[in-house]
């Protein structure tokens, strides 16, 4: 995997297979809740072990038969770094990015940090409608600057340009200057966009609508009234604009698209069986009216019309839709010498440097081929998103709406609920009697069959002390069988109390806290079974002893355990990354939490009334290192 060794991943239970029925029943019996569908949803996601088995270290063997295999293809989709996970307080489940739904709280421009109302997002084409632009040449942000003020005579006047501080591109490169330093998007649109002109030029002649109001072709999409008006006016519009016969009026792709759209909308409304039906013009082909019209169209054009032509004629024959015929309707016939002109231009000026690159063209209108046709790009908007649990629809993350604020109203990250696992190799200060491990084992080249001690630290972020049970298969799954032993599989982690509490209780508190540790403080520590390695205010460290297996095909393979790995070879097929030593560890944690309202009656009998025993269990994967091929 991509992370450097050692790493830890936590598995989101959502990828697992559903739990068989008994578990679900037991679960629902334990904590009957109002929302039973959620409960079944939650119980479907495996790993809620039964409280009767909490003392059982290998609780997972009862709950589900197979251990988690970090090498299986499925686990690619369930392993996450712990800091990327969320936690749903209602489902009591870890939630990964696949068990949540996102919804957009607000749109904002990352450049000016102004929020765009959701109604404006579409009409603005998901881009900032104000003064924020990116350089079309190098994508750096553009600055609005005046070109008259160079002598520094105070008054900010004169033409304004957008200029790139990085590549020195300015709008003067494309021969554009602005009259005002504000609302540049509109000014630019007026200058460059002939959009929606053909459809509306009759009306602009009538003076009913100012040209500047028309922002983009999308604006006609959004309002139904506009669409209907366009459809109605379209008839006159055609004839009126036919008189102009502007050869190159519609050289812009956007405007051609708008013209075609309004033309076909007109056609549909004209040829529709029931022209007064608003469905015909509003919903286009997807509406039942349009479908009827199409069906009758086919019927009339088939041979039936020849046979029963008289009958058809007597009914009102559905008029046939025609195609766009002239430029004002959006038709564009490719000029003959277009290619030649392009080639000539390539040869005469600039050459390679004058041609826009693919990256530049991908952001521009499809007709742009040369650098001096590039238009400044309004900055793309960004969103703030709230995240909900997919099963119970509770909000897990909700940022503040204001773009300037980086705070969150709700943020249930998993690390507030599960202990943060960290892994590091154990380095013994002096050559102790027991440990043959080198002072600092190279994790990228672990030698096979040589025991390595790694320290697993679990840090609790909850305000309640937690009891942890770790379980791991004694032999890692996969081709390379490494033996793993958790020296102290069961331990407690202190609460994440106030740091000052500990300090005020006296400096000796952490040392005398655990009688087992006080003995170890004096001389050098050795990994010992059944004892925690170290312990702090809200963290506990235990030792894992790992004996890396031998890679199949290596020299060590021919030694004593050759047959063993031979068996593994038959079992697993994948050979990629087989030298990566990953240990699946099942973590089961239980703690007493303050009961929420709905759960007060369900508390365990042995507990006080306001406390409820909680538990959570999940798999995590410890990436220890890579196993060397040879001894």
Partner 1 sequence: MATLKPPPAQHRSSSSSHTSTGPPKAPLKADPSSTIADTAVFQGTYPVTIGANTIIHPRARFYAYEGPIYVGDGCIISEKATIGAAPSKSRSRSRSPSPSPSQSGESTPTDNQPQPTQELTTRLSYFVIIGPQATVLPGAHIHSSTHVEALCIIHRRADVGSHVKICSGCEVPESGNVPEWIVVWGSGLGQRRRRVRDAKMPGLAVMVASLAAQNPVPGAAPEGKVIEDARLMVLQKEREALARMIVPAGAGKKK
Q: Is 42 in the site for partner 1 (CB under 8 A)?
A: no
Query: Interaction with partner 1 in 80-139: which residues (CB under 8 A)?
Result: 137-138
DSSP state of 195: T
Choices 115-123, 171-179, 377-385, 390-398; region in contact with partner 1 by CB under 8 A = 171-179
Q: Is 186 in the site for partner 1 (CB under 8 A)?
A: no
* Of 98, 122, 190, 604, the one binding partner 1 by CB under 8 A: 190
Q: Is 354 in the site for partner 1 (CB under 8 A)?
A: yes
Q: Is 578 in the site for partner 1 (CB under 8 A)?
A: no
Cis peptide leading into residue 6 (ω within 30°): yes
Q: Is 325 in the site for partner 1 (CB under 8 A)?
A: no
Choices 249-257, 333-341, 426-434, 607-615; region in contact with partner 1 by CB under 8 A = 249-257
Q: Is 174 in the site for partner 1 (CB under 8 A)?
A: yes
Q: Is 191 in the site for partner 1 (CB under 8 A)?
A: yes
Relative to beta strand 382-389, strand 377-378 is unpaired
* Of 170, 267, 391, 469, the one binding partner 1 by CB under 8 A: 170
* Contact between 113 and 120 (Cβ < 8 Å): no
| 3-state helix/strand/coil string of 236-302 | HHHHHHHHHCCCCCCCCHHHHHHHHHHHHHHHHHHHCCCCCCHHHHHCHHHCHHHHHHHHHHHHHHC
Residue among 161 and 452 whose Cβ is closer to partner 1 = 161
Cα separation, 388 vs 396, whole angstroms: 5
Q: Is 193 in the site for partner 1 (CB under 8 A)?
A: yes
* Contact between 598 and 417 (Cβ < 8 Å): no
Q: Is 249 in the site for partner 1 (CB under 8 A)?
A: yes
* Contact between 318 and 300 (Cβ < 8 Å): yes
Choices 243-251, 450-458, 489-497, 525-533; region in contact with partner 1 by CB under 8 A = 243-251
Query: Interaction with partner 1 in 478-537: which residues (CB under 8 A)?
Result: none
Cα separation, 586 vs 621, whole angstroms: 9
* Of 252, 266, 457, 565, the one binding partner 1 by CB under 8 A: 252
Q: Is 172 in the site for partner 1 (CB under 8 A)?
A: yes
Q: Is 250 in the site for partner 1 (CB under 8 A)?
A: yes
* Of 120, 176, 395, 475, the one binding partner 1 by CB under 8 A: 176
Choices 338-346, 369-377, 514-522, 548-556; region in contact with partner 1 by CB under 8 A = 369-377
Residue 51 in 3-state DSSP?
A: helix
324: buried, middle or exposed (CB in 10 Å: 19+, 13-18, 0-12)? Answer: middle
Residue among 55 and 338 whose Cβ is closer to partner 1 = 338
Q: Is 457 in the site for partner 1 (CB under 8 A)?
A: no
Own/partner contacts of 425-433, CB < 8 Å, gap of 24 or more, are: 425/6, 425/452, 425/453, 425/454, 425/455, 426/452, 426/453, 426/454, 426/455, 426/527, 426/533, 426/543, 428/524, 428/526, 429/524, 430/524, 432/524, 432/526, 433/526
Distance from CA of residue 301 to its chain's centroid? 50
* Of 192, 416, 447, 526, the one binding partner 1 by CB under 8 A: 192
Residue among 194 and 466 whose Cβ is closer to partner 1 = 194
* Contact between 299 and 305 (Cβ < 8 Å): yes
Residue among 201 and 592 whose Cβ is closer to partner 1 = 201
Cα separation, 559 vs 447, whole angstroms: 14
* Contact between 9 and 79 (Cβ < 8 Å): yes
- The CA distances from residue 208 to 203, 226, 229, in Å, are 6, 12, 12
Distance from CA of residue 203 to its chain's centroid? 45
* Of 104, 113, 168, 299, the one binding partner 1 by CB under 8 A: 168
Residues 137-156: x where in contact with partner 1 by CB under 8 A, - otherwise, as a string: xx--------x--xx-----
Q: Is 617 in the site for partner 1 (CB under 8 A)?
A: no
- Phi and psi, residue 568, nearest 5°: -65, -30
Q: Is 175 in the site for partner 1 (CB under 8 A)?
A: yes
Residue among 73 and 152 whose Cβ is closer to partner 1 = 152
Residues 67-86: x where in contact with partner 1 by CB under 8 A, - otherwise, as a string: --------------------
Residue 118 in 3-state DSSP?
A: helix
Q: Is 161 in the site for partner 1 (CB under 8 A)?
A: yes
CB of 373 to partner 1, least distance (A): 6
Name residue 88's beta-bridge partners. Answer: 93
CB of 158 to partner 1, least distance (A): 9
Q: Is 246 in the site for partner 1 (CB under 8 A)?
A: yes
Residue among 349 and 594 whose Cβ is closer to partner 1 = 349
Q: Quick one: which H or E segment has residue 100?
A: strand 100-108
Q: Is 371 in the site for partner 1 (CB under 8 A)?
A: yes
- Name the site residues for partner 1 (rule: CB under 8 A): 137-138, 147, 150-151, 159, 161, 163, 166-177, 190-194, 197-198, 201, 211, 246, 248-252, 255, 350, 353-354, 371-373, 375
């Amino acid at each position: 995997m991509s992370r450097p060794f050692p790493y830890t991943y936590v598995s989101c239970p959502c990828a697992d297979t559903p739990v068989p029925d008994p578990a679900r029943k037991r679960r629902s019996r334990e904590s009957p809740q109002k929302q039973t569908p959620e409960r079944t949803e939650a119980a479907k996601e495996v790993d809620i072990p039964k409280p009767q088995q909490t003392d059982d270290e290998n609780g997972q063997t009862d709950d589900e038969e197979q251990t988690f295999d970090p090498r299986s293809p499925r686990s690619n989709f369930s392993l996450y770094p712990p800091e990327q996970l969320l936690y749903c307080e209602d489902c009591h489940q870890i939630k990964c990015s696949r068990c949540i739904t996102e919804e957009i709280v607000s749109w904002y421009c990352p450049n000016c940090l102004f929020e765009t109302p959701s109604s404006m997002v579409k009409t603005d084409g998901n881009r900032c409608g104000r003064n924020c632009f990116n350089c079309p040449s190098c994508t750096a942000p553009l600055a609005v600057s005046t070109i008259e003020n160079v002598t520094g005579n105070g008054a900010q006047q004169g033409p304004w340009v957008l200029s790139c501080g990085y590549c020195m591109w300015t709008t003067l490169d494309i021969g554009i200057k602005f009259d005002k330093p504000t609302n540049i998007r509109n000014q630019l649109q007026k200058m460059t966009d002939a959009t929606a002109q053909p459809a509306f030029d009759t009306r602009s002649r009538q003076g009913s609508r100012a040209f500047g109001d028309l922002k983009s072709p999308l604006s006609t999409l959004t309002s139904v009234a506009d669409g209907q008006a366009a459809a109605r006016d379209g008839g006159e519009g055609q004839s009126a604009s036919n008189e102009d016969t502007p050869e190159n009026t519609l050289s812009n792709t956007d405007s051609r698209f708008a013209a075609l759209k309004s033309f076909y909308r007109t056609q549909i409304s004209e040829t529709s069986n029931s022209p007064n039906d608003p469905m015909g013009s509003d919903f286009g082909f997807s509406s039942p009216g349009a479908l009827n019209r199409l069906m009758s169209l086919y019927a009339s054009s088939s041979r039936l019309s020849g046979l029963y032509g008289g009958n058809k004629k007597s009914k009102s024959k559905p008029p046939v839709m025609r195609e766009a015929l002239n430029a004002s309707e959006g038709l564009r016939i490719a000029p003959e010498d277009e290619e030649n002109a392009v080639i000539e231009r390539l040869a005469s000026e600039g050459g390679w440097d004058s041609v826009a690159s693919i990256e530049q063209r991908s952001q521009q209108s499809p007709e742009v081929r040369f650098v001096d046709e590039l238009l400044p790009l309004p900055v793309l908007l960004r969103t703030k998103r709230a995240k909900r649990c997919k099963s119970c629809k509770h909000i897990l993350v909700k940022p503040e709406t204001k773009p300037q604020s980086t705070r969150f109203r709700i943020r249930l990250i998993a690390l507030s609920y599960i202990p943060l696992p960290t892994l590091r190799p154990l380095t013994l200060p002096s050559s102790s009697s027991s440990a043959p491990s080198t002072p600092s084992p190279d994790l990228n080249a672990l030698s096979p069959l040589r025991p390595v001690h790694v320290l697993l630290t679990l840090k609790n972020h909850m305000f309640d002390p937690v009891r942890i049970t770790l379980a791991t298969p004694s032999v890692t799954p996969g081709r390379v069988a490494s033996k793993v032993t958790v020296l102290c599989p069961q331990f407690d982690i202190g609460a994440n109390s106030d740091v000052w509490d500990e300090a005020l209780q006296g400096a000796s508190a952490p040392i005398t806290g655990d009688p087992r540790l006080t003995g170890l403080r004096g001389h050098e520590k050795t990994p010992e079974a059944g004892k925690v390695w170290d312990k702090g205010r809200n963290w506990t460290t235990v030792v894992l002893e790992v004996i890396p297996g031998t890679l199949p095909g290596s020299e060590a393979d021919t030694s004593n355990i050759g047959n063993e790995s031979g068996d593994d070879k038959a079992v697993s097929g994948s050979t990629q990354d087989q030298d990566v030593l990953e240990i699946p560890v099942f973590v089961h944690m239980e703690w007493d939490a303050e009961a929420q309202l709905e759960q007060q009656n369900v508390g365990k009998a042995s507990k006080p009334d306001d406390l409820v025993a909680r538990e959570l269990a999940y798999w995590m994967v410890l990436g220890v290192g890579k196993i060397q091929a040879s001894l």
